[in-house]
Amino acid sequence: MTNNGLLSCPPRVVPILDRNFRPAVLANRALIEAARATTNPVKAQLSLEQADGSNFHHSTELLPANHPEAKANFFHLERLVKFLLWSRGGHRVYFSGPKELGEQLQKHYRETLTGKFDANIMGDRIYERKFEIIMTDKIPPAQSNTAPLGRHLDGCRIGFDLGGSDRKVAAVIDGRCVFSEEAVWNPVPQSDPQWHFDQIMGSLKLAALHLPRVDAIGGSSAGVIVNNQVKVASLFRGVPLELFNSRVKGLFLEMKKAWGNIPLEIANDGEVTALAGSMSIGTNGVLGVALGTSMAGGYVNPEGNITTWLNELAFAPIDCNPKAPVDEWSGDSGCGVQYFSQQCVGRLLVPAGIEADADLPLPEKLKHVQSLMLAGDERAENIYRTIGTYLGYAIAHYTDFYEFNHVLILGRVTSGPGGDVILAGAKEVLEVEFSELFQRIVFHIPDEKDKRHGQAIAAASLPSLENKPNHS
């Protein structure tokens, strides 16, 4: 069968509450296998360029133009480019392949709503460059930059983590957490940057009360953070663009100044998720996935470093069902945020047969499902089983783009016994569909305390104290 013209086959493990789920990993592999089964598969090469000159390569194989299913080529290619944009990032995409497909890509990013959204975010907002699809016979050579991330445990530090429904803060002395707190907040609709500044500063000041001094501050935040500047973040979606540019973009630099310019480092929450996992299990090659208000992804490579990749897996597509749920921000369908977040729990209430006030905030809907799960309600368990099936196919998909053997799963959605059900569901998919991955991939779920506060503690390790002040 085809979905959006893309070759696809039903999953062997069907999500109990989503019979129409069509995993992108199966669709991609089906098309490539069909292309290889012909005598002349068409090769296509892609390179994504970032503002610092980094270029990331990816290649695929397409069906010959005269193949009866050749119309599947464009959707395969478009979904692939979208995944690469949100996992790697880039303001310029070089394409070496069939001219007509390159022209379709250009038109997509120039004329469609979802294409224009991605082009605007990547070009104007993140890299502050014109977004381009460039057709070429020879793509630029690959080039990438990596850097160590965190792992600094010396001194008196504050770490914080900003999510869409709560913020966490921790006071840490020489790697030992001496205080942590979680506060409920609702930042998305807030239009005044000062409100955000005051809320975050309040948590930092509270943590400082439990330290003899503050040597450094490390932060974890949803969104795209580059050089401690906020480029794009749903947390600040309610702030008008002009105010965002004038105040929010440099909000963390403003905080650094307020704390006497002590070392301060802010990273994307997904990167800190992966860092927390790497630190806790003592190994590298870790993909972190946080299931919270939204979805966060992060990656520590086999060398223990991070790249300049975005790893914004919330917007990376994993479902090729033409009627897949649509993300409210980008307007695109089948993207990770609708499968690994409180939004997923909320949309699965009806298929699960659970009644809840439609106006109830998502965190409250999640609490309701968690309470039902504790009471042994099968309807709640089916929600977690469905998420687990989604996760198994997504992890298999991610292995086509990342090199990892360890997966760290955390976030509010994984709290309680539901987290174990999610994990079991993901493992079932790997065992049934991807036996090699089942043998290789190791899943990790932190204990309840680390689920809630481990990210803030890992964030505290981000800044280096090479130039720390003398307190003797």
Rounded Cα gap, residues 286 and 262, in angstroms: 30
Domain membership flag for residue 198: yes
Q: Kindly state whether residues 264 and 276 are assigned to the same domain.
A: no
Q: Kindly state whether residues 451 and 304 are assigned to the same domain.
A: yes
Rounded Cα gap, residues 208 and 62, in angstroms: 57
* pLDDT single digits (tens) 260-283: 999 999 988 888 888 888 888 889
The two three-digit tokens of residue 74, written as one number: 């464009």
Q: Are 158 and 214 in contact (CB under 8 A)?
A: yes
* pLDDT value for 1: 41
Domain membership flag for residue 23: no
* pLDDT single digits (tens) 4-63: 555 568 999 999 999 999 999 999 999 999 999 998 999 999 999 998 889 999 999 999
Q: Are 19 and 390 in contact (CB under 8 A)?
A: no
How many other CB atoms are there within 10 angstroms of residue 183's CB atom?
12
DSSP code string of 95-130: EES-HHHHHHHHHHHHHSHHHHHHHIIIIIIII-S-
Q: Kindly report the CA angle at 353 between 344 and 391, in degrees rounded to 5? A: 30
Q: Kindly state whether residues 101 and 210 are assigned to the same domain.
A: no
* pLDDT value for 420: 95
Q: Print the domain residue range for 233.
A: 150-269
Q: Name the residue among 44, 53, 135 with its Cα closest to residue 94.
A: 135
% of the chain exceeding 70 in pLDDT: 95
Q: Kindly state whether residues 407 and 451 are assigned to the same domain.
A: yes
Q: Kindly state whether residues 202 and 265 are assigned to the same domain.
A: yes
Domain membership flag for residue 460: no
How many H-runs (helices) and E-runs (strands) does the chain carry?
Answer: 14, 19
Rounded Cα gap, residues 266 and 259, in angstroms: 14
Q: Which of 110, 144, 178 is the last residue of a domain?
A: 144
- What CATH number does residue 215 fall under? 3.30.420.40
* pLDDT value for 468: 54
Q: Kindly state whether residues 160 and 79 are assigned to the same domain.
A: no
Alpha helices per DSSP H over 224-325: 241-243, 251-258, 269-281
Rounded Cα gap, residues 400 and 94, in angstroms: 20
Q: Kindly state whether residues 291 and 224 are assigned to the same domain.
A: no
Burial class from Cβ neighbours inside 10 Å (0-12, 13-18, 19+) for residue 364 reads: middle
Q: Kindly state whether residues 390 and 279 are assigned to the same domain.
A: yes
Q: Name the residue among 216, 213, 247 with its Cα closest to residue 230.
A: 247
* pLDDT value for 78: 97
Task: Check residues 234 and 173 and name the one with the higher pLDDT.
Answer: 173
Rounded Cα gap, residues 97 and 187, in angstroms: 44
Domain membership flag for residue 2: no
* pLDDT value for 8: 60
DSSP, collapsed to helix, strand or coil, labels residue 144 as coil
Q: Which DSSP state fits 286?
A: E
Q: Name the residue among 272, 200, 274 with its Cα closest to residue 235.
A: 200
* pLDDT value for 2: 47
47, β-bridge pairs: 57, 94
Domain membership flag for residue 194: yes
* pLDDT single digits (tens) 377-434: 999 999 999 999 999 999 999 999 999 999 999 888 998 999 999 999 999 999 999 9
Mean pLDDT of the chain, nearest integer: 92
pLDDT higher than 50, residue 333: yes
Q: Kindly state whether residues 354 and 421 are assigned to the same domain.
A: yes
* pLDDT value for 469: 47
pLDDT grade, residue 470 (50/70/90)?
A: very low
Q: Kindly state whether residues 122 and 167 are assigned to the same domain.
A: no
Domain membership flag for residue 340: yes
State the total domains in the chain.
3
Q: Which of 215, 236, 269 is the last residue of a domain?
A: 269
Q: Name the residue among 238, 299, 296 with its Cα closest to residue 274.
A: 299
446-462: b or e for each residue (b if 16 or more CB lie within 10 Å)?
Answer: beeebbbbbbbbbbbbb
DSSP, collapsed to helix, strand or coil, labels residue 59 as strand
* pLDDT single digits (tens) 56-88: 999 999 999 999 999 999 999 999 999 999 999
* pLDDT value for 148: 73
* pLDDT value for 472: 36
DSSP, collapsed to helix, strand or coil, labels residue 459 as helix
pLDDT higher than 60, residue 451: no
The two three-digit tokens of residue 263, written as one number: 């070392």
* pLDDT value for 165: 83
Q: Kindly state whether residues 82 and 181 are assigned to the same domain.
A: no
Domain membership flag for residue 391: yes
* Helix pair 378-398, 24-37: axis angle to 10 deg: 40
Q: Which of 144, 171, 202 is the last residue of a domain?
A: 144
The two three-digit tokens of residue 373, written as one number: 């799960």
- If residue 324 lies in a helix (H) or strand (E), which one and from where to where? none
* pLDDT single digits (tens) 341-364: 999 999 999 999 999 998 899 999
* pLDDT single digits (tens) 185-241: 999 999 999 999 999 999 999 999 999 999 999 998 888 888 899 998 889 989 999
DSSP, collapsed to helix, strand or coil, labels residue 178 as strand
Q: Kindly state whether residues 293 and 354 are assigned to the same domain.
A: yes
pTM, full prediction: 0.88
Q: Are 412 and 363 in contact (CB under 8 A)?
A: yes
Domain membership flag for residue 231: yes
